[in-house]
Structure 1
C-alpha cells in the first residue's frame, strides 16, 4: 500500500509541473517629443528624466522610442542595464537624416534589457505623405525574437498603408512561430465606426493592444497579460506598457 501511495504521489507531482513555464516579457512604448522642433511639447532634459523614472518603475524588457535624438539612447540605457540598442533616423526627401534642433539625428529607437547583440535592420516606407519627414522603422532580430519600433504619418490613409507594410514585412517571421512585436506611434486610433481604424492593418497571427489613442503594440507568438497606460508630464503622449508572456 505504501508503494502504491508513493507511486501515485510521484505521478501527480510530475503531472502538476509545467513543461516550460511562460515568462513575462514587458514592452514599454514612449513618444518623447524630444526633437526641440515642436515647442508645445518639448521640455528638454526633464523629458529624459521622466522617461528614466518610468523605465525604472516598469522594468520593461524592451523600450520602443519615437521622436528622440540619437544621443538620447545612452542617456536612457543605464535604466535598461546598458543593454543592446538600435536607432534609425527619419529622412528628408533628399535622403539626409532629419535633425533635432541640437543638430543630432532624429528618429526611432529600441533599447533591450539584454546585452545580447541583435541584427539591426531599418528602412523607409514606400508610401509617404507630402511632408518633409519620411517615415521609417527600426528593428532588431535575435535568435528567439524580433522587435521593431516605428512612427507613422499623420495622414490617415498613408499611415494605414505604412502600418500594413510593416505588418507584412514581419508576417513571415510570425507565421514561422517566432515571437514578434511592432510598437510605436501609429497616428491611427481604434475607430471602427469612423475610421481610419488601426485594427484594419492587423492580420493573423498578430494581435494589437493600444493606449486608447495612437500608440499601439502588435505582437505574435506571445501571450497577453495586461495593458497599463501612465500619464506623462513632459511629453504629449502617455507611456504605454504592454505585459506579454513568452516561453
Structure 2
C-alpha cells in the first residue's frame, strides 16, 4: 500500500470539532481528503444521513467519552453511474458513517453479555491479543453473516441475532464484515460499534443499502427501520484516508415486492468491498444478479474512482456450489477472482491478488445461517 499524506488535524474536520487524543468524530460526508494521485478528485462532499442513535451507541462504547455527532441530512438521490442491465449505482443513497474511539483500550469495552446459550465459546476475558492493528493489512479477515433480523421471516429470533453478530465481531476481530438481512439501526447501534470496540483507536465505518419495494420505497423491518445489507470495516488512523459509499438495486429482479440491493465501499487507497443478498425466488435470476454485480457494478465503481485496488465480495447469494446445476455459483465468478463458500449459500470472493489461506464456519444460534470467516492476504 502506498504512503499517503495524513489528514490535516486542526480545530475542525468537515466543520466538526475533532480531537485526535480523545472523543469521536462522526462522519456523514464523503472523505475529507484523499490522494489526488489515486482518486477521481479530492474533497468530494455529498453528505449522507446518519441516525443519531449511532452517537448514542458510540458514547456507550466509549464509557463516557463524549461523541460529536453531525446533524442529519436528507439522503441525496444522485445516480452517478449506470452499469449494464440498467443498474443505477448511487452515491449519496442509503446510510453511511464513520467514527473513532479515542481513549478506550482493547478488552475494556462495556456492553451487555450476549444471550446465554449452551455450547457457545466464551468471549475472551482479557483483551484481543491475537490480532493487532496499526500496520498495513497483509493478514485480512472477512466475516460474512446473514442475521435474519427483519422480523418478518420465520428465522427471526427477537433481535438476539444482532447481539450474537456483535459478539462474533468482538470474538473474531475481522477486518471487514459483510452482513445481510439487517435493519439500519442494527448496523449503527450494534454492529459498527462492535467493530469500533474490537479495534480500539481505529476508525470504524459502514455503508448500508436498503432493499426497495416495487414502488421504489425502502423495505422496512417490523420496527419500521430500513431493511437491507451492509459493509463494515475498520482502519488504523495512520492508514485511514476516508471511504466512498455506493449502493443500488439490480436491473435483474424477480416478480416479488422486494427488489434486491448491493452495498459497496472504497476504502481509499486500500480495497473495494461489496455485499449483497440475492433473490431466493429464482436461481437463474440470482445468478444474473451475481454476474451483474461482479461484471457490471464493480468495474463501473473502479472506473468511477479511476484506480484499481484489490476487491472482495461477501454475501448470501442463494446459490450453491454444484457442478451439476446450471445455476452453479461458480458460473458467476469472473476471471481474476477466487471464491470460497460455507458449504451452503454464503460465499466470499476476492481478486487473485488477495489469496485465501483459510476459511472457518461458526455455528450461530439465533439465525438460520452460520457465520463464515475467510482469511486472506491483502497486498
Indicate whether 1:33 and 2:135 are aligned: no
1:41 CA drift (Å):
0.9
**Which one is further off, 114-123 or 146-155?**
114-123
Please, which of 92, 95, 98 is the counterpart of residue 216 of structure 2?
95
Moved over 3 A (4+): 171-174
How far apart, in 2, do the equivalents of 1:22 and 1:93 lie?
Answer: 41
1:77 CA drift (Å):
1.7
Aligned CA RMSD, in angstroms, stands at 1.9
- Counterpart in 1 of 2:171? 57
2:274 alignment partner, SS class = strand
Please, which of 247, 272, 287 is the counterpart of residue 122 of structure 1?
247
- Counterpart in 2 of 1:153? 279
- Counterpart in 2 of 1:167? 294
What 5-or-longer segments of structure 1 have no aligned partner? 1-20
Indicate whether 1:131 and 2:265 are aligned: no
**CA deviation vs aligned residue, 1:5-41 (integer Å, no higher than 9, x gap):** xxxxxxxxxxxxxxxx971111100100000001x21
1:56 CA drift (Å):
1.2
1:50 CA drift (Å):
0.9
**CA deviation vs aligned residue, 1:21-74 (integer Å, no higher than 9, x gap):** 971111100100000001x21112311111111111111001101000000012
Indicate whether 1:241 and 2:366 are aligned: no
1:96 CA drift (Å):
0.3
Please, which of 172, 175, 181 is the counterpart of residue 312 of structure 2?
181
What 5-or-longer segments of structure 2 have no aligned partner? 1-135, 198-203
Which has the larger Rg?
Answer: 1
- Counterpart in 2 of 1:194? 325
How far apart, in 1, do the equivalents of 2:340 and 2:150 lie?
Answer: 27
1:143 CA drift (Å):
2.0
2:246 alignment partner, SS class = strand
Give aligned pairs, total.
Answer: 226
How far apart, in 1, do the equivalents of 2:172 and 2:357 lie?
Answer: 14
Q: Flag the 1:22–1:49 CA change in 2: closer, same or farther, 3 A.
A: closer
How far apart, in 2, do the equivalents of 1:232 and 1:91 lie?
Answer: 28
How far apart, in 2, do the equivalents of 1:187 and 1:37 lie?
Answer: 18
1:194 CA drift (Å):
2.8
How far apart, in 2, do the equivalents of 1:194 and 1:204 lie?
Answer: 20
How far apart, in 2, do the equivalents of 1:201 and 1:184 lie?
Answer: 13
How far apart, in 2, do the equivalents of 1:86 and 1:203 lie?
Answer: 24
- Counterpart in 2 of 1:85? 206
